[in-house]
A and B are shown apart, each in its own frame.
Chain A
């Protein structure tokens, strides 16, 4: 019941004065019927969030803008991390990549540095600049 009370306190004051007692009574009845208190509280939490967003359309716009900014920031950070770690990981993986996955025509391994062309992605094999296949 403590979770439920906490959830009910998340509603706007006007809502609480209008529905608060009734909502607490409803929660008691539902718990008596066997509904878990956590699920009731969660439902009230969600209801409180949507009530606040409905009552304050500007906040809804703000929340949307905030979410977009947060997504953009996290994407930027991810890309920055990827781009900073890519050269290092490429340097670490190049010898094993050449040895394990690429087979030059007629040879099992090649110590010659290879370059993968970007304009031939067809099929399962990638044509390498001097006749090797991946």
Chain B
């Protein structure tokens, strides 16, 4: 076939130079990952994904949704389609106040900004506080979705180990002392104290008290991220850090995502007025205001229904799914695996022997049509390679059982192979499985990967 005269094509290496020279230094920390490449193929039919952090929105009654939208159409159509104030609608703040009161907090509405999901709070707080190289203290592992935000602002993230009682405050204090000696002052501590994502553990009351004291002594801020606090399946809730501190050093992040709908993209922040002012300015630059339509939907929903009933129904569903997953883990995972036993939230954190790399394991698991989140995304320092996050809220019980069975099979295959390769009996074979302690959850083991095999590359 003949080739017609074509418009000049864009040149490849010129493109490279053209764009490479324009990128901000902060984009250097924004990496794509092997994990993302593997995750991108999990959306296929038949796949059981225990990877998401998805609430079960299928249990929300469509009649209620219809009633909510009908009410907005009748009563506030023009307003719903209009811009709103940056800090959010007063009606939404009243709903937020109800939700926070359910956990014993009573903030002033003036100290509150309604945001586009809780994720925006992490972004706005980091934007307001962090210059390149400033230190943020986070849990290890931390919420994987916070990592790209911290990277984008070129923060230096220092992660503090956790155990079954949450962040080790003794290690936090040691770290703060060390940083002080080095002349580096952290700006804030980022924590998910209740049913942590991804570890599933909850910070104990003594640790909460001590954390609040430590930050007051050192005049540091805390960003308390609490999306799951109301999704408790057993036991008494410890008070939020915000309540213990009275809102002096603790900034509070809440969201409707897990108690109502993530599709609304509605969250909020409560912070001391000077910080809030900076957050407000940052939000003006980011998106002017949070969706008025979403805010009015929440308001209408709170008027039409008792929001607690829906949370109660979710709690019932998730408790049973968590129990199913814990039973399935005990049945299907080899004795070398350890996992947390969350009293609420959406996630279980599993740690495997350190010769298993969970990113590679995911590639093997996806051939069996099952997926999880490899632990490396929850660390910024290369740890977490032998851990995985499992979600129990987004799949029904049959799929949870089958998914865990399939993952268990591929882990056992790798354990057996390693045993064969090292010529030793399978590590841990014959040992009694340590039973997870009731109510407490096992210690979160976060093994450090030393000078193990490195990733090396040849690409296509």
Do A and B assemble together? no
